[in-house]
């Protein structure tokens, strides 16, 4: 038996190892890591000094927690450091360009060159859209071309620039909303236009992390397809619905819970989407040698659904944007046909099935964790807004279905060793369920969340 002395010695040894590990981790921090940490702390102090009087207790708590979280994230993944510095600098430049005699003048968005063409919120978000499309094209050129490394590298760089401009557009839009009038300012995650911007850059950023982690850009062609699909919806929503106009929040959204619930939800949506697109890549690679057309029929149907925005099916689409969506469907079908026709070439260039399966699993695991947090936060928000934690509203019901689907997927993975084809198809079914929970409920069902309707 282990004596008391041996037990104490064992605990001391473990404590010493933990301390050594912590000190070793800190010792690996570079001067740039510490400089970045200092910059974030200074920026937080300045934010409190300038805007502290306008914040309530919850907002102060969120800002206080953001600083260490951002430092930890940037130390864990160093590309976050230049990203946040550039976003901060460009956002402050845009805010400065709006100033006239110490006061903001939003009319300068159409008068000042940099604001009009680059740094106003709408300009930055439109650039984001164009760059995400271009990034997707270059990723595909890189995947298909005999020597596509340069094209893939360019696709990756364009994705980074698009993420940067998406964040700049978001920060500047937040500032612009506060200049319109008292009580109108809010964090831009309150309507479909704003959350599609959030979805696009979060999904792209998450993919870029795994591109860096696995040192391969070969997954980008598939991962960026879902981002481009979201951008396609965003452009339609901007032109047809003029959704880019900043509007006051409806009463149900005037809550600090929104600042936490919505981003956590969309980390889940983004990672689930990445997992599904890599599952699609997995099935393409697996079916590379298949020649019987009926064996490929499910992939044809699946590919069309993946690239086909749900909005096309809704009633009245022909009245507003019908031509746009017809063209969108045609382009989507051509993309799917091209992928299946070139599946052997694509399969040769894609990472191994093991890598695709591993990233798919990790994406779902991260997404499930954040979606769980978002669901709990949503229940707390509902209790504050409507007096009950759960009301079986259609949005809540479908959120539960999404949660149960991925909980079952992870259970089968961890307990039963779920791998391969079944896991990939299940991940793709999960994307369909998630898409309906995100858009379909807003389109076809009504309930307490009807303020998010199309």
Show pLDDT as tens, one digit a residue, over the chain (454 residues). 456 565 555 556 555 545 555 566 677 888 999 999 999 999 999 988 987 887 777 778 888 888 999 999 999 999 999 999 999 999 999 999 999 988 888 999 999 999 999 999 999 999 999 999 999 999 999 999 888 899 999 999 999 999 999 999 999 999 999 888 877 888 888 888 999 999 999 999 999 999 999 999 999 999 999 999 899 888 888 887 777 888 888 777 777 788 888 899 999 999 999 999 999 999 989 887 666 655 666 666 666 565 555 444 444 444 555 677 777 777 777 887 788 788 888 999 999 999 999 999 999 999 999 999 999 998 888 888 777 777 888 888 899 999 999 999 999 999 999 888 899 999 999 998 998 888 777 766 665 555 555 5
Neighbours of 386 (CB within 10 A): 13
65 within 8 A of 20, measured Cβ to Cβ: no
Q: What is the pLDDT of residue 315?
A: 43
CA distance 88 to 172: 10
Q: What is the pLDDT of residue 292?
A: 64
**Domain spans of the chain?**
104-249
Q: What is the pLDDT of residue 6?
A: 55
282 within 8 A of 356, measured Cβ to Cβ: yes
Q: What is the pLDDT of residue 248?
A: 83
Q: What is the pLDDT of residue 93?
A: 96
Q: What is the 3-state secondary structure (H, E, C) of the chain?
A: CCCHHHHHHHHHHHHHHHHHHHHHHHHCCCHHHHHHHHHHHHHHHHHHHHHHHHCCHHHHHHHHHHHHHHHHHHHHCCCHHHHHHHHHHHHHHHHHHCEECCEECHHHHHCCHHHHHHHCHHHHHHHHHHHHHHHHHHHHHHHHCCCCHHHHHHHHHHHHHHHHHHHHHHHHHHHHHHHHCCCCCCCCCCCHHHHHHHHHHHHHHHHHHHHHHHCCCCCHHHHHHHHHHHHHHHHHHHHHHCCCCCCCCCHHHCCCCHHHHHHHHHHHHHHHHHHHHHHHHHHHHHCCCCCCHHHHHHHHHHHHHHHCCHHHHCCCCCCCCHHHHHHHHHHHHHHHHHHHHCHHHHHHHCCCHHHHHHHHHHHHHHHHHHHHHHHHHHHHHHHHHHCCCCCCCHHHHHHHHHHHHHHHHHHHHHHHCCCHHHHHHHHHHHHHHHHHHHHHHHHHCCCCCHHHCC
Q: What is the pLDDT of residue 226?
A: 92
Residue that has been written with the tokens 């980390």 in this structure: 267
Q: What is the pLDDT of residue 15?
A: 54
Q: What is the pLDDT of residue 75?
A: 92
CA distance 67 to 303: 41
CA distance 11 to 24: 20
């Amino acid at each position: 038996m282990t004596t008391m002395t041996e037990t104490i010695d064992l605990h001391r040894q473990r404590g010493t190892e933990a301390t050594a590990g912590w000190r070793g981790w800190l010792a690996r921090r570079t001067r740039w890591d510490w400089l970045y940490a200092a910059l974030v702390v200074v920026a937080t102090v300045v934010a409190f000094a300038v805007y502290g009087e306008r914040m309530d207790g919850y907002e102060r708590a969120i800002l206080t927690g953001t600083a260490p979280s951002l430092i930890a994230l940037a130390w864990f993944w160093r590309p976050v450091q230049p990203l946040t510095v550039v976003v901060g600098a460009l956002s402050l430049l845009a805010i400065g360009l709006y100033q006239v005699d110490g006061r903001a003048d939003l009319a300068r968005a159409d008068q000042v060159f940099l604001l009009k063409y680059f740094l106003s919120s709408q300009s930055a978000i439109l650039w984001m859209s164009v760059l995400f499309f271009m990034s997707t094209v270059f990723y595909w050129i890189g995947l298909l071309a005999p020597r596509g490394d340069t094209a893939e590298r360019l696709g990756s760089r364009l994705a980074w620039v698009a993420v940067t401009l998406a964040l700049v557009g978001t920060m500047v839009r937040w500032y612009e909303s506060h200049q319109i009038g008292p009580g109108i300012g809010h964090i831009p995650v309150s309507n479909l236009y704003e959350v599609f911007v959030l979805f696009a850059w979060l999904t792209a950023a998450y993919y870029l992390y795994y591109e860096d982690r696995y040192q391969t850009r070969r997954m980008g062609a598939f991962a960026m397809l879902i981002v481009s699909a979201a951008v396609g919806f965003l452009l339609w929503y901007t032109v047809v619905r003029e959704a880019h106009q900043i509007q006051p929040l409806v009463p149900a959204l005037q809550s600090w819970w929104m600042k936490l619930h919505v981003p956590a939800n969309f980390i889940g949506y983004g990672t689930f989407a990445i997992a599904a697109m890599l599952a699609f890549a997995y099935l393409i690679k697996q079916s590379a040698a298949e020649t019987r057309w009926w064996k490929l029929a499910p992939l044809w149907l699946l590919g069309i659904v993946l690239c086909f925005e749900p909005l096309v099916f809704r009633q009245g689409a022909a009245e507003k944007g019908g031509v746009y969506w017809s063209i969108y469907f045609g382009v989507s079908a051509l993309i799917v046909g091209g992928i299946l026709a070139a599946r052997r070439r694509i399969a040769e260039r894609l990472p191994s099935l093991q890598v695709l399966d591993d990233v798919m699993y990790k994406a779902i695991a991260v997404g499930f964790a954040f979606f769980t947090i978002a669901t709990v936060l949503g229940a707390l928000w509902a209790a504050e807004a409507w007096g009950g934690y759960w009301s079986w509203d259609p949005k809540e019901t479908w959120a539960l279905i999404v949660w149960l689907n991925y909980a079952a997927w992870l259970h089968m993975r961890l307990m039963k060793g779920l791998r391969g084809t079944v896991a990939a198809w299940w991940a793709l079914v999960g994307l369909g369920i998630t898409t309906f929970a995100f858009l379909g409920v807003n389109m076809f069902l009504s309930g307490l969340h009807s303020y998010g309707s199309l």
